[in-house]
């Protein structure tokens, strides 16, 4: 019997609950909280975002970025990436995204197998392009 949309969504919800219990998700949440609770990291990241926005507006109006502005941005970036909590967040984010990628690949592999088994007509198109 073919699966209907509601059944697929119910199973997706179960999969989401299962993924949310993976250690990579908890590690990512903890790393986000650690960065949020670090005033130095928060200030540096907020300042970096403000600088980026300012420079983007400046470029949009046709004004060039000065060497001093570029150096200030690089200095802020170096300060951010040298923060141990930001480093931990970046590593946790990579692990979290890798988990999501693996889950997505597992799902896609089944869809591709089905598409290729249907005479190959669907094999020429991405399974998610429909």
Note the pLDDT tens digit of each residue in 60-83.
999 888 899 989 989 988 988 899
Q: In the chain, where are the structural domains located? A: 23-124
**How far is Cα 40 from Cα 43, in angstroms, rounded to an integer?**
5
Domain 23-124: which CATH number of 1.20.1500, 3.10.450, 1.10.3470, 1.10.1060: 1.20.1500
* Residue ranges of the chain whose pLDDT lies below 50: 122-123, 129-130
Res 111: pLDDT: 87
Res 123: pLDDT: 47
SS3 content of the chain, % helix, strand, coil (to 5): 80, 0, 20
Res 65: pLDDT: 85
Residue 44: CA count within 13 A, CB half-sphere: 20
Res 118: pLDDT: 60
């Amino acid at each position: 019997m073919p699966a209907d949309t509601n059944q697929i969504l119910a199973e997706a919800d179960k999969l989401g609950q299962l993924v949310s219990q993976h250690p990579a998700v908890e590690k990512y949440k903890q790393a986000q909280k650690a960065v949020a609770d670090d005033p130095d990291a928060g200030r540096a990241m907020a300042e970096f975002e403000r600088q980026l926005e300012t420079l983007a507006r400046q470029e949009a109006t046709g004004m060039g970025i000065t060497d001093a502005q570029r150096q200030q941005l690089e200095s802020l970036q170096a300060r951010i990436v040298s923060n141990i909590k930001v480093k931990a967040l970046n590593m946790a984010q990579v692990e979290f995204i890798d988990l999501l990628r693996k889950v997505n690949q597992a799902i896609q592999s089944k869809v591709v197998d089905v598409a290729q088994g249907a005479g190959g007509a669907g094999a020429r198109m991405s399974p998610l392009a429909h």
